[in-house]
Chain A
Amino acid sequence: MSSGTPAPPFAITLDVGSSRANLTGSWRTERPQYVRLTAPCGAGCPAAEDVQQWLYHAEEGGYEAAWRKIMERNPLPAVSGRICYHPCETACNRAQLDEAVGINSVERFLGDQALAGGWQIERPALDGGGRVLVIGAGPSGLSAAYHLALLGHHVTVRDMAPAAGGMMRYGIPKYRLPREVLDAEIDRIAALGVEFQLSAHVSDVVAEQAEGSYDAVFLAVGATLPQRTYIPAGSAAKIIDAIALLRDAEDGSAGPPLLGRRVAVYGGGNTAMDAARTAKRLGAEESIIVYRRDRAHMPAHESELMEALAEGIKVKWLTTITAADAGELEVERMELDEHGRPQPTGEFEKLGADAVVLATGQVSDLSLLEGVAGIEFEDNVVKVDGNMMTGHAGIFAGGDMVPAERTATVAIGHGRRAAHGIDRWLRGAPAEEEWGLEDSASATGVGPAPLTAQVPFERLNTWYYSDAPKTVRAELDAVRRSSTFDEVVLGLDESNALFEARRCMSCGNCLACDNCYGVCPDNAVVKLDPPGAYAYAFDLDYCKGCGVCAAECPCGAIEMVPEPI
């Protein structure tokens, strides 16, 4: 070997190097990737609220950001936080761990924070150019008006009642929804430049549209007519409709309805519960619900029944009213057949009652649509397409008058969907076939099914979540509340609202807990500062594809996918 040439490397003469030269990523057969999935709460929300996302803000104490996230979908959070039957909580994965997150109570807290703080949504400086008439100032009409205003259109809302709110005012009693809350949320919509014309009846929608030069009409007239059930009654029998009872209790102009000492409410829905509880508050000593099926088949929401029972309201199950006379009813005991339908038994008895309140369902007053070309009806409601447009071009409909579940939250979802449908129609854009990830069609009962799979409980690694039961809203003392119209269910204060929000498991959406970064045996997870699309990234030069990150992600936001071979 010549002296000028360095010796070839040999064993101990090698320089020490870092193992980083060894790119172990080549071992991998699967790679991890971050994903965002639809949490069950949002998928279950008829108003298409992105619940997981607003809870994420609330967890940090970002109440205004959380509220603004809700307001992207629902203009009435303080109302919904009181009266929504919260299908989000029914869907919540946490229910399988301990108890569902109290989403509804957090929503109410955020809604109340907004009212207390005077938070407002600014009308965008854009002119959509459309003139839209909204008929009906209930939840669906208000929601449509709000979203149309945000899209820059000129909106007029017309309602036959002297105040806006629809069934939220004339159907839902004060003890469930205080009127100052409802008024404040409606005022916020009016502040966006929405014009309200009240005590104004519309008898012919096409004529009304032409007269006012409206480009489009959204019908949201609700279901205000009682569905009459025939009961043979003597001349002295007192029979009134639940819907009239609730309206009169609100209106007050005709004086309080006179019911007598003992009131029977006929029906098993939420209106029956409201009527029975209202009757007690109006002075009835006894309020009895008469329902033809059993508790398992009752359409009323469980929480409403529980609250009614707690106020001393009795329920006579499997019973129909066959005749009414002064101070006394004749009732028949029923039996359920194998399909769950009530069948008469021929066994009759007497039931003392000074008045009968009929709460056997409501139908829509569709007289304003008489003779309108193209409109199709189905079981006394109006058929609409995925954009909520009826068979008559430019006339849209939503809420209780279209085929769907009849709740305020479904109606709010319809209103938003119709607003966007009207906007697209006005712009000549094609009707949207797919509503996008965020829009829960299955819950509204209209349009295509949601696109993404929801996050199943099994995808979560729940060991990581602190054990913590749900904070239960305090309820007014039952004795006190049955004699007054004070609000029954109280709200959360800030510390327990925050606690409740933090029980969210963030299903399918990274909650930035650093676990993937911590548990990687190969240091192949990189924390991004500032975060990009995700808070972390995988270093595929070194990731061996072991899958520990995905298995240990608490919220199921990492997925292993096969490497192409």
Chain B
Amino acid sequence: MSATRLKYFQTGSFAAGNRLVDPDQRSVQSDPRRANAITCGHRACQGCGEALGARYALDAALRASDGDLIATNATGCLEVFSTPYPESSWQVPWIHSLFGNAAAVATGVAAALKAKGNTHTRVVGQGGDGGTVDIGFACLSGMFERGDDVLYICYDNEAYMNTGVQRSAATPPAAYTTTTQAVGEQPGAPWGQGKDAALIALAHEIPYVATATIADLRDLERKVHTAMEIRGARYIHVLVTCPLGWGAASADSIKLARLAMETGIFPVWEGEHGDVVSVTKIRHRTPVEEYLKLQTRFRHLFAPVRRDDVIARIQARADRNIARFGLLEALDEDQLDEAVEVDV
């Protein structure tokens, strides 16, 4: 698929498709024959960001591999809502084993393919933030370190949502979960804990690491496509909204992911061999409060007593991301929307 940014075509390249451009310049998701890796009837909640993120990512991976793909899956929402025995929503060869071993299973699938002399079938490992950042991290780090030929995608909804919204190492500070109640001087998840899995992946100096959100479809698809063109260990970390666990309206799923991006709370970047090589700039910078106030997991920052100190601390964290990744700097020439020649 094309990574070209389309300028001056009404919705440019921000919407899924665009009647004014050729079908091959539109997103995979706008294709009426897209694979639909996860088909209808799955039991994800209304407005599930993970169902959306997984379909975006795997449909792009399926197009990049001509449909020749095996997916592994950690335990978690994605596995539970898609595959209540004996039904399955998956329209791709798919295997689930344990909570913590999706990366190891993917390694095994890749090794088996190699042993059979199969060089064409590609392998994608998938997990939520619990299965990836916490429980499965040793398996994932080993997969990176050995350079196994797997693209691992983490769908990060920032807590253990499937088991009832418990804190994970990806839960942001101050967020309410059932294990980080909104009580005490520092309500919600503690400050100074947790880890940034994408930066840790980058530190392994593997060929490709990227972050993305469900709010910028074309960017996500481009990154999956790029990753699929590379052999070796690759990692994509996708922020996916959880209306249930975040306490947000189902209709706001994409809006929240967009605000996470536009506030600087979730920096969107890509790296190669240990270095960040590009970032997705913020188009309309927004204060973090706009993001926080839509979610009941941050409700205790606004009532009964407004916690300006905590909001300011979250803003400072977002500002640090903006400074660290250069999210507001002028766009590089090659990142600008391209002025497509008008065909007249």
Query: A and B: partners?
Result: yes
A495 part of interface (Cβ distance < 8 Å): yes
Please, which residues of chain B bring their CB within 8 A of the CB of A23?
Answer: 41
The answer to the question of B29 belonging to the interface, with a C-beta cut-off of 8 Å to chain A, is yes
Q: Which B residues touch A511, using CB under 8 A?
A: 10-11, 19
Chain B residues with Cβ below 8 Å from A504 are: 10
Cα–Cα distance between A304 and B328 once the two chains are bound (Å): 40
Q: Within the complex, what minimum Cβ distance (angstroms) separates B283 from chain A?
A: 7
Q: Report the bound CA distance from A505 to B11 in whole Å.
A: 8
- B47 nearest in chain A by CB position: A546
B8 to chain A minimum Cβ distance, whole angstroms, is 5
Q: Are A468 and B15 interface neighbours, CB within 8 A?
A: no
CB pair B8–A502 under 8 Å, yes or no, is yes
Q: Flag whether A534 is at the interface (Cβ < 8 A).
A: no
Q: Counting CB contacts under 8 A, is B199 at the interface?
A: no
Interface flag for B92 (CB, 8 Å)? no
- Give A39 to B283 CA distance when docked, in angstroms: 26
Q: Which residue of B lies closest to A498 (CB)?
A: B342
Bound state CA distance, A17 and B90, in angstroms?
Answer: 10
Residue of A nearest to B252 (CB): A551
What chain B residues lie within 8 Å of A527 (beta carbons)?
32
In the docked arrangement, what's the CA distance between A514 and B18, Å? 7
Q: Which of B81-89, B149-157, B271-279 contacts A (4 or more CB under 8 A)?
A: B81-89
Query: Interface range on chain A: under 10, 10 to 19, 20 to 34, or 35 or more?
Result: 35 or more
Q: Mark B2-33, 1 if CB is under 8 A from A, else 0.
A: 00000111111011111110000011011010
Query: Which of A160-168, A267-275, A458-466 participates in binding chain B?
Result: A458-466
B89 touches A513 (CB 8 A): no
B83-140 contacts to A (CB < 8 Å): 84-89
CB B42 to nearest CB in A, in angstroms, measures 5
When C-beta atoms are compared, the residue in chain A nearest to B255 turns out to be A551
**A544 partner residues in chain B, CB cutoff 8 A:** 46-47
Q: Are A547 and B251 in contact (CB under 8 A)?
A: yes
In the assembled complex, how far is the CB of residue B328 from the closest CB belonging to chain A, in whole angstroms? Answer: 15
Name the B residues within 8 Å of A498 (CB-CB): 342, 344
The secondary-structure label for the interface of chain B is loop
Report the stretch among A373-381, A410-418, A516-524 that lies at the interface: A516-524
Interface string of B284-322 (1 = CB under 8 A from A): 100000000000000000000000000000000000000
Question: Contact at B253–A21, with CB atoms within 8 Å?
Answer: no
- B69 at interface (Cβ–Cβ under 8 A)? no
Which residue of A524, A552, A560 is within 8 Å of B40 (Cβ)? A524
Nearest-Cβ distance from residue B31 to partner chain A, whole angstroms: 9
* Set of chain B residues within 8 Å of A554, measured between Cβ atoms: 11, 15
Identify the interface centre among A59, A495, A548: most chain B CB within 10 Å of its CB.
A548
A467 within 8 A of B: yes
In the bound complex, CA of A20 to CA of B42 (Å): 8
A19 pairs with B17, CB closer than 8 A:
no
* A14 to B, closest residue via Cβ: B86
Q: At the interface, yes or no: A434 with Cβ under 8 Å from chain B? A: no
B270 to chain A, nearest CB (A): 21
Please measure, in the bound complex, the distance between the C-alpha atom of A506 and the C-alpha atom of B20, giving whole angstroms.
14
Cβ of A126 under 8 Å from chain B: no
The reply to whether B87 and A17 contact each other, CB–CB distance below 8 Å, is: yes
Query: Assuming the A-B contacts A16-B86, A513-B18, are A24 and B41 also in contact, with contact meaning beta carbons closer than 8 angstroms in the complex?
Result: yes
Q: Quick check: is B70 within 8 A (CB to CB) of the other chain?
A: no
Q: How far is the CB of A16 from chain B (nearest CB, A)?
A: 5
CA distance A544 to B343 in the complex (A): 41
Give Cα distance in the complex from A117 to B32, angstroms: 38
Q: Kindly state whether residue B71 has any CB partner on chain A within 8 Å.
A: no
With A and B bound together, what is the CA distance between A367 and B49 in angstroms? 73
Question: Once the chains are docked, how many angstroms separate the CA of A542 from the CA of B43?
Answer: 10
Contact of B26 (CB < 8 Å), options: A20, A468, A514: A514
B residues near A20, Cβ cutoff 8 Å: 39-41
Known: A466-B8, A514-B30. A18 touches B16 (CB 8 A): no
CB interface residues, B 255-278, toward A, < 8 Å: 255, 258
A18, B10: Cβ atoms closer than 8 Å: no
Cβ contact within 8 Å between B82 and A19: yes
The verdict on B1 contacting chain A, using a C-beta distance below 8 Å, is: no
B12: A residues at CB distance < 8 A = 464-466
**Cβ of A521 and Cβ of B88 under 8 Å apart?**
no
Whether A18 lies near B41 (C-beta < 8 A) is yes
Q: How far is the CB of B251 from chain A (nearest CB, A)?
A: 3
Q: Are the CB atoms of A542 and B40 closer together than 8 Å?
A: yes
Is B165 positioned at the interface, with any CB of A under 8 Å from its CB?
no
Q: CB distance A512 to B19 under 8 Å?
A: yes
| Additional A-B contacts beyond A494-B342, A524-B40, A546-B253 (13; CB < 8 A) | A19-B39, A19-B82, A20-B40, A27-B46, A463-B14, A464-B12, A464-B15, A467-B283, A502-B10, A513-B10, A546-B47, A546-B250, A554-B11
Interface residues of B (CB under 8 A from A): 7-12, 14-20, 26-27, 29-30, 32, 36, 38-44, 46-49, 51-52, 55, 82, 84-89, 217, 243, 249-255, 258, 283-284, 337, 342-344
A→B interface (CB under 8 Å): 14-24, 27, 59-61, 463-468, 494-495, 498-499, 502-506, 511-515, 517-519, 521-524, 527, 529, 539, 541-542, 544-548, 550-552, 554, 560
Interchain residue pairs with CB less than 8 A apart (6)? A14-B86, A19-B41, A464-B11, A499-B8, A512-B19, A513-B18
